[in-house]
């Protein structure tokens, strides 16, 4: 029985995002709008399994092997959704949708049933009149073991071959159909990350990556995830403001569990065509406060009278007046009678958006990274240094330091720096902060806070340094010296989360502060706080609005920037499809190699729920995108199922290679022992990925 239970443990490459918890998943399933997607996903995934099993089935039939069952899904305990007997084969759909199998006479992957199946194959039919050396006389001639070694190898490898063919066909059709792909413009960078250290910023366009010209965002993700961690990845980056193309060699960071350079995908100037249901009454900023209200599909064409053609230009224009109302010139399309579309232009006033604050300051840490070609780099500031004073005054709250330095742009300031964090090695450094018109927010876990005007990224220690007398934190009883060990967001409609760990090793406070700016207005922050006595208590804070600190983006949301990738002919589509399939196959091997080398966290593996979630997302993005997802899944199934693990096709192939070399099959005792080991390995892996999918095992 060639069963594909490994479908539950297929590893697909991820670059972020979260897996839906069981409750959210169930809520999504019961929505009628999701049923068409569910049907499409079910048919697609079922077809990938069907193609694999069909390969085994057709070659087995061609070799004269009796195929007793052909099932999609597993009929555990005889339970099945449907079955039909056609000739000597029972075709059916099993109750457990984790794969499929072809049951051949004389072959069973279950070690406990293998002996019984072998005996059944020896007595199930007439013996050949003149048995050959390759066909032992004790086997039924139509049984699997009675076939020659090359024939059995062909039967085993047929499933993988069919998956590869299927992947090529699906990707070819996808490129003939056309696929919307994210471009490689940068909307923001992660403070301290590889891209940040080399000076990349909002609006930069990646025009080459890893030898690929004019890449799409998927090319970037693949190059970074699967590239050589030692030598790095070559990028060619163009800054539209000056048209200069720089060549950078970026060594990806791995602190997030997967290699990354710390850039986010590109944004357009258009408000999303579908807005969150609570955008008007609970989302902070422009969607709730704009006058007149912004509508889905609006495109911003000017800010305060200055024309803008990109997201980077919008950010630059808004960063010049963060504390003042901005007037957006908006192009709006409206449907007319007879299907015509009329375009109107109107002005929308958007007030400033105060930062949400808690009335306390954390303790500044050392400089984690210095940006290339920045004021700090020119002044000789290095990682490990600590900025203690600015113009003779304590540096204070590290999270408000950038807002304070922006007022000193293009003006000399004197920094008191403790070299290597040693107060005894204090040094005064004179430099000139620069004007900042881009975004460097700590929107990732474990991120430092960016002091963009200087070009440094500073760690924030989870120890309360000061508390405002009339602030939120003081009212909740927090005092200097308290250590925050955990943070969780709660709102009226959402239960409390497990929380975000905060420690000296997990510098997550800047990330918590960044999340605080974008969560619902009715959100509260619950902190686990360790006092100086070592006792941990829980406090709940309701954020207040700052009076002197404002968010550049003002709560605006934008659609991503896509471009259509479509082959001009079927031969061109086949060429693209073949290349994409090869990339997927090699990518799986590279991914597994990085997992075993501890360069990628195994917590990025996905089980059935994660696979279905990704499939559903792909289906919603269009037919071509869904076909590419099936290409990826088919490539995963081909590679993973051919790993040399007993009870998988690859394990059977290893046994057959041994038999081909030695002239005799391996000992039955050895085969059974290894099969049990392989089975336990698979069960453990299935349990692990189910735990990841359901949230029992954290993905970080």
Tokens encoding 82 = 């449907």
477 and 416 Cβ atoms separated by less than 8 Å:
no
Write the DSSP symbol of residue 65: -
The pLDDT value recorded for residue 215 is 93
Angle between helices 570-596 and 149-177 (to 10 degrees): 120
The pLDDT value recorded for residue 67 is 94
CB atoms within 10 A of CB 347: 12
The pLDDT value recorded for residue 256 is 83
Across-strand partners of 96?
74
Domain ranges of the chain: 2-126+137-177+567-694, 182-266, 359-542
The pLDDT value recorded for residue 8 is 32
Would you say the C-alpha torsion 354, 356, 357, 362 has a positive or negative sign? negative
250 and 232 Cβ atoms separated by less than 8 Å:
yes
Q: Which of 502, 503, 498 is nearest to 488 (CA)?
A: 498
Decide if 182-266 and 359-542 have a common fold. yes
Question: At residue 488, what are phi and psi to the nearest 5 degrees?
Answer: -140, 140
CA 87 to chain centre: 46
Which residues of the chain, if any, have pLDDT below 70?
A: 1-38, 98, 124-137, 277-279, 335-340, 492-498, 699-700
The pLDDT value recorded for residue 44 is 79
- Give the pTM: 0.82
User: What superfamily does domain 359-542 belong to in CATH?
Assistant: PDZ domain (2.30.42.10)
Q: Which of 352, 307, 346, 301 is nearest to 326 (CA)?
A: 352
Question: At residue 105, what are phi and psi to the nearest 5 degrees?
Answer: -60, 125
The pLDDT value recorded for residue 24 is 53
CA dist., res. 605 & res. 591, Å (int): 10
The pLDDT value recorded for residue 11 is 33
The pLDDT value recorded for residue 15 is 31
CA dist., res. 585 & res. 166, Å (int): 13
CA dist., res. 395 & res. 454, Å (int): 13
CA dist., res. 468 & res. 475, Å (int): 10
Q: Three-state SS for 334? A: strand
Burial class of residue 592, CB neighbours in 10 A (0-12, 13-18, 19+): middle
**Which H or E run contains 87?**
none
CA dist., res. 78 & res. 83, Å (int): 11
Tokens encoding 208 = 């080459």
Instruction: Decide which of 1.10.620.20, 2.60.40.420, 2.30.42.10, 3.90.480.20 is the CATH code for 182-266.
Output: 2.30.42.10
Q: Which of 253, 189, 699, 190 is nearest to 447 (CA)?
A: 190
Write the DSSP symbol of residue 458: E
The pLDDT value recorded for residue 535 is 93
CB atoms within 10 A of CB 570: 13
Angle ∠(510,512,515) on CA atoms, nearest 5? 110
């Amino acid at each position: 029985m060639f069963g594909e239970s490994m479908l539950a443990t297929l590893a697909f490459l991820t670059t972020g995002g979260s897996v839906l918890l069981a409750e959210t998943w169930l809520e999504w399933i019961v929505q009628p709008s999701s049923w068409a997607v569910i049907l499409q996903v079910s048919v697609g995934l079922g077809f990938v399994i069907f193609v694999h099993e069909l390969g085994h089935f057709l070659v087995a039939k061609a070799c004269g092997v009796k195929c007793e069952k052909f099932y999609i899904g597993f009929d555990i305990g005889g339970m099945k959704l449907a079955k039909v007997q056609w000739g000597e084969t029972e075709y059916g759909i099993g109750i457990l949708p984790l794969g499929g199998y072809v049951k051949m006479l004389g072959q069973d992957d279950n070690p406990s049933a293998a002996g019984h199946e072998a005996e059944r194959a020896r007595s199930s039919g007439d013996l050949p009149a003149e048995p050959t050396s390759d066909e032992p006389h004790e086997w039924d001639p139509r049984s699997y073991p009675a076939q020659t070694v090359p024939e059995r190898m062909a039967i085993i490898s047929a499933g993988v071959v069919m998956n590869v063919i299927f992947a090529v066909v699906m990707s070819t059709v996808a490129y003939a159909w056309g696929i919307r792909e994210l471009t490689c413009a940068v909307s923001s960078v992660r403070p301290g990350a590889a891209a940040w250290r080399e000076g990349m910023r909002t609006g930069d366009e990646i025009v080459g990556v890893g030898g690929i010209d004019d890449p799409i965002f998927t090319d970037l993700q693949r190059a970074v995830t699967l590239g050589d961690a030692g030598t790095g990845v070559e990028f060619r980056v163009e800054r539209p403001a000056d048209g200069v193309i720089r060549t950078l060699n970026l060594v990806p960071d791995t602190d997030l569990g997967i290699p990354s350079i710390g850039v986010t995908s590109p944004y357009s100037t258009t408000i999303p065509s579908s807005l969150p249901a609570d955008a008007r009454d609970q989302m902070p900023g422009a969607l709730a406060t704009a006058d007149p209200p912004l509508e889905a599909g609006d495109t911003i064409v000017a800010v305060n009278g200055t024309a803008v053609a990109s997201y980077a230009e919008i950010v630059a224009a808004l960063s010049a007046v963060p504390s003042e109302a901005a007037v957006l010139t908006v192009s709006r399309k409206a449907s007319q009678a007879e299907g015509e579309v009329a375009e109107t232009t109107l002005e929308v006033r958007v007030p400033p958006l105060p930062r949400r604050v808690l009335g306390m300051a954390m303790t500044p840490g050392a400089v984690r990274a210095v940006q290339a070609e920045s004021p700090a780099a020119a002044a000789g500031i290095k990682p490990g240094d600590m900025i203690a004073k600015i113009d003779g005054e304590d540096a204070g709250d590290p999270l408000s330091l950038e807002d304070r330095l922006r007022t000193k742009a293009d003006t000399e300031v004197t920094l008191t720096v403790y070299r290597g964090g040693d107060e005894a090695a204090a040094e005064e450094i004179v430099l000139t902060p620069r004007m900042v018109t881009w975004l460097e927010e700590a929107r990732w876990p474990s991120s430092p806070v960016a002091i963009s005007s200087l070009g440094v990224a500073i760690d924030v220690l989870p120890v309360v340094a000061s508390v405002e007398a009339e602030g939120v934190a003081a009212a909740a009883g927090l005092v200097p010296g308290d250590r925050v060990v955990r943070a969780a967001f709660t709102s009226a409609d959402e239960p409390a989360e497990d929380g975000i760990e905060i420690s000296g090793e997990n510098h997550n406070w800047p990330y918590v502060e960044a999340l605080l700016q974008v969560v619902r207005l009715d959100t509260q922050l619950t902190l686990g706080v360790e006092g100086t006595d070592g006792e941990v208590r829980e406090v709940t804070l309701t954020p207040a609005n700052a009076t002197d600190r404002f968010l550049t983006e003002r709560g605006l949301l934008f659609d991503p920037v896509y471009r259509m990738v479509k082959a001009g002919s079927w031969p061109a589509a086949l060429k693209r499809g073949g290349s994409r399939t090869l990339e997927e196959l090699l990518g799986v091997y590279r991914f597994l190699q990085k997992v075993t080398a501890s360069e990628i966290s195994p917590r990025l593996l996905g089980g059935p729920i994660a696979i279905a979630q990704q499939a559903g997302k792909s289906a919603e993005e269009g037919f071509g995108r869904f076909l590419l997802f099936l290409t990826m899944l088919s490539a995963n199934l081909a590679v993973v199922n051919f790993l040399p693990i007993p009870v998988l096709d690859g394990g059977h192939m290893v046994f057959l290679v041994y038999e081909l070399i030695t002239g005799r099959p391996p000992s039955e005792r050895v085969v059974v022992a290894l099969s049990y080991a392989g089975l336990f390995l698979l069960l453990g892996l299935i349990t692990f990925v189910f735990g990841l999918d359901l949230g029992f095992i954290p993905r970080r």
